[in-house]
Amino acid sequence: MSRFKFSVGPWNIHDGADSYGPATRNEVDFEAKVKKFAEIGFSAVQFHDDDAVPNMNELSEEEIKIEARKVKAILDKYNLSAEFVAPRLWMDPHTIDGGFMSTCKEDREFAMWRTYRSIDIANELGCDKIVLWLAREGTLCAESKSPVWATKQLIDAINKMLEYDEKIKILIEPKPNEPIDRSICGTIGHVMGVSAATIDPPRVGGLLESAHAILAGLDPSHEIGFGLAMGKLWGVHLNDQNGIKFDQDKTFGVENLRQAFNQIKVLMENNYGSNGEYIGLDVKAMRTTKNEDRYKHLENSLKITKALEEKASRFDYDFQRKCVENRDFEGLEMYVMNLLMGIE
Ligand SMILES: [Mn+2]
């Protein structure tokens, strides 16, 4: 039994297509995914706006709410909650050069329209969190945009969201690059700066993804710790990443087991989840994975998370204190290695 509640997105069951080749698995129907998520131990689903309401650009505001209610009925059927809604601005022809930071006024207005509709969808799904993954917000050509102007555009856009709905919370999911060359809000530290500059900082926080922190050259457990220290870590996307390359979204813990242990440990030490926060497992199956194994990366991430939770619950804080007092960090490090290797 885990102390945590877990969440997952429909995109975590994917057909395997990438930039260099076609699909390797069949598509899975939304309800079939949701049913399986509930079976394997998830209690909430994360949504892009158009995961909940496909083709939403062609629908009226009222039609969008009606479609969202149908999704809520599916969640209710399997006793799942919705964790958040994220406007998917990076896939749309209107936001080729970004949304909130686009140099085109019409594109910025479109980005706000989608974000307001995401808030409407969140209300229909019974959740109070909007996640901003700022995928194309930054520059491909460094001189094309002022980073000062772009940062202020982001703050203005968040202020409009806060004014649109007095209860909604905004979570920025920072990432330093990809698909953009240079992003504007790359780490949890940036998120805290943006939060402080808005009209309602208590409603603006962060969601930390392990792979994104590694891409920024940082340790995810310290990014998590920084957000927790500020009282503004309201979501996590635990996964893993082999070095600084394309965003891999590997099964949690498979590359950096000690880092994964420390992410779970810092979350446990600070009672993450006590305000209803979920552990999101934002993991992707390998392209070679067969249809029948398409949920294995999720099941494995859950197993590894729970195993690390068990290891962290046995962490010997008395021994740790003695090692620190004696400045025996070699001894402490070997203790952690033995704990992780199962050598008692
Ligand atoms: Mn990722």
Under 8 Å between Cβ of 260 and 309:
no
Note the pLDDT of residue 342: 96
Is the pLDDT at 186 greater than 90? The verdict is yes
- Respond yes or no on whether the N-terminal peptide bond of residue 179 is cis (omega within 30° of 0): yes
DSSP single-letter state for residue 45 = E
Under 8 Å between Cβ of 45 and 326:
no
Under 8 Å between Cβ of 15 and 27:
yes
How remote is the CA of residue 31 from the centroid of ligand 1, in Å?
A: 24
Dist. CA 222–CA 21, nearest whole Å: 36
% of the chain exceeding 70 in pLDDT: 100
Is the pLDDT at 344 greater than 90? The verdict is no
Tell me the per-residue pLDDT of 142-164, one tens digit each, with 9 for 90 and over: 999 999 999 999 999 999 999 99
pLDDT-based confidence at residue 229 (cuts at 50, 70, 90): very high
67 CB neighbour count, 10 Å cutoff: 17
pLDDT-based confidence at residue 270 (cuts at 50, 70, 90): very high
Dist. CA 107–CA 257, nearest whole Å: 42
How remote is the CA of residue 178 from the centroid of ligand 1, in Å?
A: 10
Note the pLDDT of residue 116: 98
Under 8 Å between Cβ of 233 and 195:
no
Note the pLDDT of residue 1: 82
Between strands 182-183 and 138-139, the pairing is antiparallel
User: Which value, to the nearest 10 degrees, does the dihedral of the CA atoms of residues 93, 95, 96, 99 take?
Assistant: -170
Dist. CA 295–CA 120, nearest whole Å: 30
Under 8 Å between Cβ of 284 and 248:
yes
Is the pLDDT at 109 greater than 90? The verdict is yes
Length of the chain, please?
344
How remote is the CA of residue 126 from the centroid of ligand 1, in Å?
A: 25
Position of tokens 């959740």?
A: 127
Tell me the per-residue pLDDT of 240-249, one tens digit each, with 9 for 90 and over: 999 999 999 9
Tell me the per-residue pLDDT of 281-316, one tens digit each, with 9 for 90 and over: 999 999 999 999 999 999 999 999 999 999 999 999
How remote is the CA of residue 66 from the centroid of ligand 1, in Å?
A: 31
pLDDT-based confidence at residue 254 (cuts at 50, 70, 90): very high
How remote is the CA of residue 296 from the centroid of ligand 1, in Å?
A: 18
Q: Tell me the one-letter amino acid at 3.
A: R
Measured CA distances, 82 to 8, 206, 242, 257 (Å): 10, 17, 30, 29
pLDDT-based confidence at residue 276 (cuts at 50, 70, 90): very high
Between strands 169-173 and 129-133, the pairing is parallel
Tell me the per-residue pLDDT of 60-99, one tens digit each, with 9 for 90 and over: 999 999 999 999 999 999 999 999 999 999 999 999 999 9
Note the pLDDT of residue 297: 98
How remote is the CA of residue 227 from the centroid of ligand 1, in Å?
A: 18
Average pLDDT over residues 38-43: 98
Which domains are seen in the chain, by residue range?
Answer: 6-311 (3.20.20.150), 314-344 (no CATH)
Q: And the tokens for 189?
A: 């530290």
Residues with CB under 5 A from ligand 1 (ion): 211, 247, 249
Measured CA distances, 125 to 15, 40, 324 (Å): 26, 22, 48
CB within 8 A of 33, min separation 6: which ones? Answer: 10, 13
Average pLDDT over residues 155-184: 98
CB within 8 A of 302, min separation 6: which ones? Answer: 6, 40, 41, 281
Q: And the tokens for 320?
A: 């740790």
Dist. CA 232–CA 195, nearest whole Å: 9
